[in-house]
Chain A
Amino acid sequence: MTGRSGLDERIGDVYLTADELRARVRELGDEIAHDYAGREPLLVGTLKACIPFIADLSMAMPIAHHLDFVALAGYGHAQLGGHEQIRLLKDLDREIAGRDVVLVDEVVDTGLTLHYLTRTFRLRSPGSLVCAALFDRPYRRLVDDLPIRYVGFTVPDEFFAGYGFDVDERWRNLPDLHLVRRF
């Protein structure tokens, strides 16, 4: 399914340009750097969608900080029947007890993933735990008690591709954020 431009025909109009994204991420980086001045926060990205965001955010933070990543088994891969539960496919490489942890998530939607990570990490006694989300899509939040402190954009209830978002695992590399057409 490839259009004349070489892109998947489902890739629609640009919703946010790379420049708009980077400008906002720089602002978030400044804000986080200000809030954590004198400390060394640990940014924890949730693979894979967060990669462009956490890379830009990290470069926008003029303070010392560390990076780590987790990967989760998504619901789409679960066997139906409710017998499975979410689990970490890749855990953190380091201890977080006493650390200032900033979960870096591309988008918060139902909040279920962030809820799981928050619950899991709180058991490890971090010094503090907050979330920086590039996009907030609050229309179908199933859980509420989420430590979302930084939000880049509140976006409409659309599907996106580019800047980390995929369509069938492709097009994460597009620098702009595109709307996805659904056929």
Chain B
Amino acid sequence: MLLETPIFQAYRGEATPRFVNEAELEYAKLLDYYGVPWMYEPHTFVLERDEDGRVTEAFTPDFYLPEQDLYLEVTVMKQSLVTRKNRKLRKLRALYPDVRIKLFYERDFARLAARYGLQQAS
């Protein structure tokens, strides 16, 4: 599915963001509408390396809000399927305790969609 690429005004990244699902795009539009500076996947956090120092597990949160120093991770997986993501998040918090991150689940997006009239994937 090819997602639209609007002209964003509060986007603070360089490369054009390539969203992987409708929910990411809608969160981006919402942040942009309210003028909250945001970046898309600007940082990757290493979670695990093998004996040779090669990265074997990493986590790249979807959004970073530089003024808030806050990461947002958006998932559209059903609640029952988010165990792996939750585990990664716990690991990230343990390894990088100063990093502030919030995870938004599918149910959160559904609520926001109802409140703001966001586009939901069919």
Contacts and interface: CB of A to CB of B under 8 A. Distances in A.
Contact of A83 (B7, B10, B30, B111): B7
Interface residues of B, number: 31
Given A110-B112, A140-B104, A140-B112, A82 B36 contact: no
Nearest to A78: B33
B30 A142 contact: yes
Interface in A87-109: 109
A157 to B, nearest CB: 7
B13 interface: no
A141 B70 CA distance: 11
Nearest to B28: A82
A159 B31 CA distance: 22
Contacts of B35: 85-86, 116, 119
B56 to A, nearest CB: 32
Contacts of A142: 30-31, 36, 65, 72, 102
Most buried by B among A139, A140, A142: A142
Contacts of B30: 75, 110, 112, 142
Contacts of B9: 82-83, 85
Contacts of A110: 30, 112
Nearest to A145: B68
B36 A115 contact: yes
Contacts of A83: 6-7, 9
A80 B119 contact: yes
B6 A82 contact: yes
Interface in B1-35: 4, 6-10, 28-35
B87 interface: no
Nearest to A74: B116
A71 interface: no
A143 B4 contact: no
Interface in A130-151: 139-145
A80 B29 contact: yes
A3 interface: no
Contacts of B72: 142
A6 interface: no
Contact of B33 (A82, A119, A139): A82
A115 B67 CA distance: 11
B68 A144 contact: yes
The 5 A-B residue pairs with the shortest CB-CB distance, nearest first, are A82-B6, A112-B34, A76-B117, A81-B6, A82-B29
Given A85-B9, A85-B33, 12 more contacts: A81-B6, A81-B7, A82-B7, A82-B29, A82-B33, A85-B35, A109-B115, A115-B34, A142-B65, A143-B65, A143-B70, A145-B68
